[in-house]
């Protein structure tokens, strides 16, 4: 799954990387977020079909289907959308996958390896440290009285690549959309030919991984030091504590 990521890039860097044009007029400021957690508002890139361009929007990281009347009473976990379920007609993702796909700017993402008594966080990023794009689906949610509305999104998960599987033993990782596929991913295209072929693990040889301290496990923590690799002696000490 994907339950945490980092976005160190500001509005201008995102605009340049995703070719959004001039964003000076956008009524939002993006300070770095070193511990992006679910149930928060985050920048998401969608395709504005009316304007024929990529658009940066602030959306809530928890996908809310149209049938939800009260988000507080909606108990289903929808921060992630499993790739295997996207086209299942009995599920909630189908329409959004066919026509409302999005890109989530990220500089790194987190996965945890389960250990006795704790979870060991691993951080993953591009070897060249470039900003990359997580693939997701989005939905505009409105309250029954039509007085409240907001964009909501989920990050799609796929099978793990060799690096993620080796470091965490997870059976999933977030979908990373290659730069050359960004436009195809964003545009709705033909419903008869959705981009199923892009639902694959990202190449391990382009990704790096390192252990970080357990302070990042708390969503209350949010500073640049969370990205620092654990020292060898720190890793050994923690592993010894938990019998690994």
Which run of H or E residues covers position 213? none
Give the N- to C-terminal CA distance of the chain in Å, as an integer. Answer: 23
Write the Ramachandran bin of 129: left for phi over 0, alpha for psi from -120 to 50, otherwise beta.
left
**Under 8 Å between Cβ of 178 and 199:** no
Report, as residue numbers or ranges, the catalytic residues. Answer: 2, 111
**Under 8 Å between Cβ of 104 and 175:** no
The C-alpha angle with vertex 122 and arms to 167 and 176, in degrees rounded to 5, equals 85
Q: What are 177's two structure tokens?
A: 């959309």
């Amino acid at each position: 799954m994907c339950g945490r990521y980092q976005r160190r890039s500001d509005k201008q860097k995102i605009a340049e990387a995703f070719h959004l044009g001039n964003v000076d007029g956008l009524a939002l400021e993006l300070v770095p977020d070193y511990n992006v957690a679910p149930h928060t508002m985050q920048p998401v890139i969608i395709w504005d079909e009316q304007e024929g361009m990529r658009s940066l929007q602030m959306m809530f990281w928890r996908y809310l289907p149209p049938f939800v009347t009260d988000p507080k009473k909606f108990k289903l976990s929808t921060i992630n959308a499993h790739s295997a379920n996207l086209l299942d007609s009995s599920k909630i993702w189908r329409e959004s996958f066919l026509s409302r796909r999005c890109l989530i700017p990220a500089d790194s993402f987190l996965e945890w390896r389960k250990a006795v008594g704790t979870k060991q966080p691993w951080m993953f990023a591009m070897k060249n440290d470039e900003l990359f794009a997580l693939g997701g689906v989005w939905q505009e949610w409105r309250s029954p009285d039509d007085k409240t509305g907001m964009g909501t999104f989920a990050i799609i998960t796929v099978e793990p690549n060799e690096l993620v599987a080796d470091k965490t033993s997870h059976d999933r990782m977030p979908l990373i959309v290659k730069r050359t596929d960004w436009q195809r991913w964003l545009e709705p295209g033909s419903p008869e030919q959705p981009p199923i072929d892009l639902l694959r693990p990202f190449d391990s040889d382009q990704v790096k991984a390192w252990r970080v301290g357990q302070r990042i496990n708390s969503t209350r923590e949010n500073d640049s030091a969370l990205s620092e690799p654990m020292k060898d002696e720190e890793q050994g000490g923690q592993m010894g504590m938990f019998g690994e």
